[in-house]
Amino acid sequence: MFMLKLRLFPRFLIMLLLITVIPVALVGKIVVGINSESLQFEVQRYHMKLAQSMAERFDERLSTIVSQMGIALDAIKNPAASWEDRQKLLSALIDSSSHFGIISAVANNGSEVIKAYNPLLAPEVDKNPALISHAHLPLFQKFKATGDQTRKVTRENNFTMAELYLPFDSPIGKNALYIKMSINDLCEMIGQENIGRTGFATYVGPEGTLLSPSKFIGSSDKSLDESMVKNALSGNLGAREFVDLNGIAWVGASAPISQLGGVIFTQQMRKEAYQASAKGQRQAAIFIVITILFAIIAAILLTRSLVNPLLKISEFAKSVDLGSGRFPDPVVIKSGDEIEELAQTFNEMMVKLKGYAELQVEKLIIEQKKTEAIIFSIKDGIIMTDYQGKIQLISRMAKQILGIAEEEPVLGYPLWKYLPSPELKTACMDLLTNPKSKSAVEVKLTQNENEKFYALSAEEVRTPGKEELLGLVTVIHDITLEKEIDSMKEEFLHSITHDLRNPLTAIRGFIRLFQSGQTGPMNEMQIKMLETMDKASLRLTNMVNDILDLARLESNRLTLHIEPSSLELIAGRVIELFMPQAKGSRIKLTMDIPKYIPETPLDPNLIERVFVNLVGNATKFTPDQGSITLRVKEEADHLRCSVEDTGEGIPKDYLEKVFDKFKQVEGHFKGGAGLGLTICKRIVEAHMGKIWVESEVGKGAAFIFTLPKNLSDRQEQKAA
């Protein structure tokens, strides 16, 4: 399809280039690919064997330490030994090894029974050598839950420490031997490994933490490949190429540590590893470029000799003007081939087309009169303008709406000259500058002391078939009756809603009276029924309040109390409000607000309500283990606020509709009247900001709104 849209010269040129270049490019690619794949396989196999060898050395040296753990465990379990003998044996084991920091026996309830320690590796115990309880420690809680050996490796004060709980049985139940030991020498052994000029090895603990920084990457883990680490942590070998967070390409491999857990990770810069392959690729690229240049020159020369006569015919065809009846002189081409025959056929066609055009003039005049009759009989006002705003056609109804005399000539004059109000001028300008927008613009006009409402919509006018742009048609539709009916509906709804508030207040008061027990004792079923009634009445009260608040916003009766406010404090209160609910649903609720965000003039209570409504909606539609982030970012003249979740997402058809009153996404009803987002929109617009939503189904949603930094100045300008 792309080739068919091109002109003859580039199309023919591209075909010649494809015929000559593709075979050479394919051969070069195959040769380079074979070399690259072979080298890639060998480099990755080398790294995988190296990582496996280092993991085996790590496990071998660790076996000596593990055998000493067995001595400690046997000493604790020996029923014939006294506690004093056990203490001496543990102390001797601590003194004889540079690895052990703490060895203690822990009862089933978490209390230490006996303990020995090395002050150098466990300075915190040296300050307080008393027996402690492990019940609150996460690692012990994991051990107690599983009943199996548990372990953790961390880096503390330039020491890499491993903590283990080894289970053993005793007459008083299932106990644990707690061991905290240093594996610093093993990690240093890994970190000192060099692979070429840029390669190195690291040890990553069972939790995915970098524990043996190399001299190349220091203490940063940005050069590690997360997927390879996860694969090795699950017990698998692996090797692959990857790009780290700094944008550097690497070749690496990983191997698991069997006894202590964790991963040995080796990596080398891809540029160094594939240096030989890169040289071959450069040579092949030079050969291909030379071939392409030669093919381009040959194709251009051949194409010009064939296409120039056709271009001459094309230029003659462009000079045809059916509107004025002007036709070019016959084309003269003497090439003695099919192109000359084409020129003769073209000349014959011009003669026939000229006769046909003369016959069609009268038919066009008749059709034009019919079209004008149809347009002038339509009850809506219709105006056609060109893209400079000059009137090309205007119906009788449009003249009446704009107050133009029937006999006044307006064709060819700018439309702005006849628009009676600035509001109408702004609406027409928006339609003219953005004709592809399908949304109608509502305007209000005062005619004979009566207010009239009109909906303006525009559509581009194109010629049939050719799709040539002729201008813009604006339709003015009278919607006064619809507006009056909507107003009656709103007044009725607000009246009914206001009358519901007092009965609801009385109902909730009586429910609270019953719940307080002042009317007498109640059984459990009655208490549950009252709780259900209280929740239902509270939900109904909130719906009534939302409707009344929306009525105040729509009628501009809501006064903004502007004062310099901190969005960080406002967001913090909202996070604190929803944190219990988020924890109950296991949802991660966070905020991302830089410290340098300045105080901004706004109504803090209303903006807090916006955040409450948005975060409340997010908690309804975010599943367990999901996340909600409240974010604020400073931009040129405004602050950009957003509430982002990992929930179900919103279908594309509803992205514009969710801010409408009583509108909810079909199949996603979670309670409420569907007014929360409408209230948010009114509050943000009252602050002269904008609000919208960005979402994809299954990928969560982000509700975003902006607040101007200079709200006070804008309000003064608006008032002026």
Q: Which residue has the tokens 């109408």?
A: 424
Q: Higher pLDDT residue, 316 or 640?
A: 640
What is the per-residue pLDDT across 462-477, written as a single tens digit (0 to 9) for each? 766 656 777 788 887 7
Percentage helix, strand, coil for the chain under 3-state DSSP, each rounded to 5:
50, 20, 30
Spatial contact of 100 and 93, defined as CB atoms under 8 Å apart:
yes
Task: Provide mean pLDDT across the span 387-403.
Answer: 78
The larger pLDDT score, comparing residue 720 to residue 280, is at 280
Q: Percentage of the chain with pLDDT > 90?
A: 5
pLDDT value of position 719: 47
pLDDT digits (tens, 9 = 90+) for 194-226: 888 888 888 888 877 777 765 555 445 556 777
Number of C-beta neighbours around residue 50 at 10 A: 20
Determine the residue type at 1. Answer: M
Q: Is the pLDDT of residue 432 over 90?
A: no
Return the pLDDT at 643: 93
The pLDDT confidence band at residue 243, using thresholds 50, 70 and 90, is: confident
**Given this model, what pLDDT does residue 612 score?**
86
Q: Note the pLDDT of residue 369.
A: 64
Question: SS3 for 442?
Answer: strand
H/E element, 681: helix 676-686
Choice between 432 and 4, residue whose per-residue pLDDT is larger: 432
Overall average pLDDT of the 228-249 stretch: 80
pLDDT class of 237 with cuts at 50, 70, 90: confident
* Percent of all residues in the chain with a pLDDT value above 70, rounded to a whole number: 74
pLDDT of residue 629: 93
3-state secondary structure of 541: helix
Does the structure show a pLDDT above 70 at 519? yes
The more confidently predicted of residues 389 and 321 is: 389
Residue 707 is predicted with a pLDDT of 92
In this predicted structure, the answer to whether residue 628 has a pLDDT above a threshold of 90 is yes
Give the amino acid at 429.
Answer: M
pLDDT in the model for residue 720 = 46
**Bridge pairing between strands 588-592 and 627-634:** parallel
Q: Distance between CA atoms of 525 and 651, rounded to whole angstroms? A: 42
The DSSP code sequence of 408-435 is ---TTSBGGGG--SHHHHHHHHHHHH-T
pLDDT reported for residue 640 = 92
The answer, yes or no, to whether residue 635 has pLDDT greater than 70, is yes
**Sign of torsion over alpha carbons 702, 708, 709, 712:** negative
- Phi, psi angles (nearest 5°) of residue 321: -125, 95
pLDDT at 703: 93
Q: Which of 22-31, 174-183, 387-396, 591-600 has the lowest mean pLDDT?
A: 22-31
Q: Which residue has the tokens 């009566």?
A: 450
User: What does the pLDDT average to over 89-96?
Assistant: 82
The pLDDT of residue 415 is 77
Would you state the structure tokens that stand for residue 358, as one six-digit string? 């003369």
pLDDT tens per residue across span 244-290 = 778 888 888 888 888 788 888 888 888 887 776 667 667 777 777 78
At 386, is the pLDDT very low, low, confident or very high (cuts 50, 70, 90)?
A: confident
Verdict on whether the full-model pTM lies above 0.85: no
- Yes or no: say if 294 and 300 are a contact pair by the CB < 8 Å rule: no
Look over the chain and give the mean of its residue pLDDT values, rounded to a whole number: 76
pLDDT at 479 over 80: no
Residue 282: Cβ within 10 Å count = 10
Listed ranges 154-163, 368-377, 502-511, 635-644; the one with the highest mean pLDDT: 635-644
pLDDT of residue 197: 82
